[in-house]
A and B are shown apart, each in its own frame.
Chain A
């Protein structure tokens, strides 16, 4: 029933979808053709759904699909969907100070091979305490790999799944039966099963507004390594709005990953709307229970100029769903610092651990806290 021209039409449509970023393999196109074969082609609605249900597999692709469908099949005067491109000047804003200094410092690949651990003990100690904002490009390259090492430690939780373990806490009855056959039904040998620790979900929300510029790069490197440590890590950036960075940070090479982040985030170095960003997170991702049972880390200096009350409200929501909430504020590295900024003050009652994160030592502290974090004490 499906003529050649028709088949070509659908195949080309599949290619159009692929171009806008949907994963449309030959299997899906074949399904689409079979699907169209089964429905009434006279009914536009049925054609639409048959194509959508066979070619799209994610909710967030529906919009792209709809636009492509309108343009391709209905010949409606809409522009074909194009992934948003960034203006070059925005790209340059990523942790500007550090990037610039690093460029001055010359080729990064050659210095990247240096083992940071080969530094003398005292130099290492010095580096450990140095504020990221004050590092030279050379020092920065040294700490890069240390950051990655630190970030691999993850919070743990007990899995409900059990595996064979002689020190386990539950009898392995299947094996018990089998073993007891040899002894006439007497359970001489008692195999056990135990639960094992698995990584707990970790969600990191990182402030990339102007006031955080000097720290953004180091913290993103930390995030990149955390995402690379295994499944169950979600990363977001926010300034005036929220962007999900998990896919971008999934790229193995840290520099390439950071590059992709720059493209994905539209508001680098912008103002801060912490409350609104937290709300977006709670509405969109919290509702999908992304934060439930997770350790949530917010990295920000707490400079909310607009609505501190909203920050408090959204932090309360976040804290209720999360297993524990950690706030990392680079300003806290200064012993004089007092959390007086409106947003920070509003958030603190809902924070379990409040940490600095302005240098290597404080990142280590963060990793230690994350690895052993307990369920919220202050409710």
Chain B
């Protein structure tokens, strides 16, 4: 179903969707399509896990269906739910009590949630199951079933089978270990921070009109930050947000003053910001500027 014969072809399509994957990620996405297996993406926050799925959808001309996981996520919110208000109204409207159960639990009263939507679709679909580690283990077990059979059973309607398998991307921030059975079912790829060259490219492609110099200096500065001992090192998402802010302020390069003012969009913890204040900050800016002009 993939339509891409080589990794290079897929890479080109992803680039056309404004996404610059490294070779490892392209390979992972390619294999996920070629072997028709779900892909589990892990990595620090902000390295572009969710973005990867969105871009894959664009690159393959598929519809993106996203299931955001959270604690307590259940079948009613992930798969389907009956439209109770409509059902009640329908019973009322029928008056004489001639409503049969079959009628009441028919497709027109069904609210389709992401998983059902993805299974029961005629167009190509990329199913993004985001932050699976946040869902509880009961849901993980249920998901495992869906991902092995690609079918969903609704007691009142019967079994719905996928006519074409969706491409499945799972992401996890590793707040807990996932079940082995689920891992066995999926390919695994760890996304690290990108190389500096790639990060500059990413910033440029995401912020049209940004000055070359600003992009390079910002990427170099964030790279310096990642080398420090921080509670939460910034990801690519932070580099983009921050450079966007600087760009909106009309900046074409970095200086200590503007970095100090905008530091809150790169570092999200008070201790981290405090650690980087003052001399450290001036020094980091100098290092970043020197690195960028090389």
Contacts and interface: CB of A to CB of B under 8 A. Distances in A.
Interface string B241-270: 000000000000000000000000000000
A59 B43 CA distance: 9
Interface centre among A23, A27, A177 (most CB of B within 10 A): A177
Contacts of A377: none
14 contacts: A38-B34, A40-B7, A45-B23, A45-B24, A50-B27, A52-B24, A53-B28, A159-B72, A161-B136, A176-B84, A180-B91, A185-B99, A287-B231, A287-B232
Interface majority SS (helix, strand, loop, mixed), chain A? helix
Given A161-B138, A178-B101, A31 B187 contact: yes
Contacts of A39: 7, 27, 30-31
A34 B34 CA distance: 9
Nearest to B91: A185
A173 interface: yes
B174 A59 contact: yes
Interface stretch (A10-18, A146-154, A288-296, A364-372): A288-296
A54 B31 contact: yes
Interface majority SS (helix, strand, loop, mixed), chain B? mixed
Contacts of B74: 161
Contacts of B231: 282-283, 287, 317
Contacts of A58: 177, 183, 188
A103 interface: no
A250 B69 CA distance: 28
B173 A174 contact: no
Nearest to B74: A161
Contact of A184 (B97, B138, B176): B97
B82 A174 contact: yes
Interface in A31-49: 31, 34-35, 38-40, 45-46, 49
A373 B170 CA distance: 35
A39 B24 CA distance: 12
Contact of B173 (A40, A289, A317): A289
List 6 tightest A-B contacts by C-beta distance, closest first. Answer: A160-B72, A185-B91, A49-B27, A289-B175, A57-B183, A38-B34
Given A58-B177, A177-B104, 19 more contacts: A25-B184, A31-B37, A38-B34, A40-B6, A45-B27, A46-B7, A49-B24, A53-B188, A57-B40, A57-B180, A57-B184, A59-B42, A176-B84, A177-B84, A178-B101, A185-B97, A283-B231, A289-B175, A317-B271
Contacts of A53: 24, 27-28, 31, 39, 187-189
A17 to B, nearest CB: 13
Contacts of A45: 23-24, 27
Interface string A217-232: 0000000000000010
B188 A46 contact: no
B62 interface: no
B122 interface: no
Given A23-B180, A31-B187, A181 B91 contact: yes
A288 B91 CA distance: 49
Contacts of B226: none
Interface residues of B, number: 50
Nearest to B36: A34
B187 A46 contact: no
Given A161-B138, A290-B175, A46 B23 contact: yes
B99 A181 contact: yes
Nearest to B134: A289
A58 B229 CA distance: 24
A28 interface: yes
Contacts of B183: 57-58
Contacts of A38: 30-31, 34-35
Given A161-B136, A177-B84, A34 B91 contact: no
Given A25-B184, A161-B136, A185 B27 contact: no
A62 interface: yes
B113 to A, nearest CB: 14
A177 B91 CA distance: 9
Nearest to A177: B87
A31 B88 contact: no
A49 B28 contact: yes
Interface in A254-309: 282-283, 287-290, 292
Contacts of A174: 82, 84
A99 to B, nearest CB: 31
Contacts of A160: 70-72
Interface in B5-52: 6-7, 23-24, 27-28, 30-31, 34-35, 37, 39-40, 42, 44
A180 B91 CA distance: 9
B27 A34 contact: no
Contacts of B87: 177
Contacts of A180: 88, 91
B101 A181 contact: yes
Interface in A305-323: 313, 317
Contacts of A57: 40, 180, 183-184, 186, 188
A185 B92 contact: yes
B272 to A, nearest CB: 11
A38 B8 CA distance: 12
Nearest to B76: A174
B22 to A, nearest CB: 10
A56 interface: yes
Interface centre among B27, B34, B176, B177 (most CB of A within 10 A): B27
A10 to B, nearest CB: 15
Given A159-B72, A178-B101, A34 B35 contact: yes
Contacts of B88: 177, 180, 185
B7 A177 contact: no
A182 B15 CA distance: 59
B137 interface: yes
Nearest to A31: B35
A49 B7 CA distance: 12
